[in-house]
Chain A
Amino acid sequence: DTAVSQTPKYLVTQMGNDKSIKCEQNLGHDTMYWYKQDSKKFLKIMFSYNNKELIINETVPNRFSPKSPDKAHLNLHINSLELGDSAVYFCASRTGGLVETEAFFGQGTRLTVV
């Protein structure tokens, strides 16, 4: 049973389109994240949610809109896709806040904008 699952695994789309990536965790964690890993392999935090509330938005363009319908889900919707959005997007979850706990990552979604 996968702890953190993302769908789809691969996504190829044209510039200007709108797309969504879904993330679900079955670990009972209260904090979820979205990271972007570009071609240089830097892993940059985009968003952090705790109990469905946005905590961190790392100066991500407004075209990116995360949505957390419940604690177990954090979806990422991207409007008007650009070439520079091509990257691997990782979802992660952990128990945030009170103790230092490890993060669990999904397998990633490779987004290619053409």
Chain B
Amino acid sequence: LAKTTQPISMDSYEGQEVNITCSHNNIATNDYITWYQQFPSQGPRFIIQGYKTKVTNEVASLFIPADRKSSTLSLPRVSLSDTAVYYCLVGGTSGTYKYIFGTGTRLKVLA
């Protein structure tokens, strides 16, 4: 799986939009980009996934440029409850048994 690089930590204030960027220079043609959120004392949970351009769901948006060497998770108007660690994963379709998480980004939302 392509290695990913994310900022170790970020701080934000309630009501702001937060953008977390993940670099994956070695992404392969078949690779998808997936983001997970982990609260303290809980397992990670899926947020969003995309292949190219832009994906939006009720929780977040995912922006992927044409070269797909990076991706940006956008959280609109964060609240204190969005304080968590956010992980970016890059993986392909077939044979994705090696589901590897990167170091993640610790987002702290301040009042």
List residues of chain A with CB under 8 Å of any chain B CB.
4, 31, 33, 35, 41-45, 48, 50, 55-56, 90, 92, 94, 96-100, 102-108
Cβ of B29 within 8 Å of any chain A Cβ, yes or no, is no
Complex contact B95–A45 (CB within 8 A) = no
For A41, the chain B residues whose CB sits under 8 A away are: 85, 104
Most A CB contacts (10 A, CB to CB) among B38, B91, B99 go to B99
Q: How far is the CA of A35 from the CA of B98 in the complex (A)?
A: 11
Closest CB in chain B relative to A23 CB, distance in Å = 11
Complex contact B94–A48 (CB within 8 A) = no
- Majority DSSP secondary structure for residues of B touching A: loop
Complex contact B93–A99 (CB within 8 A) = yes
Given A41-B85, A108-B41: A103 and B97 interface contact (C-beta under 8 Å): no
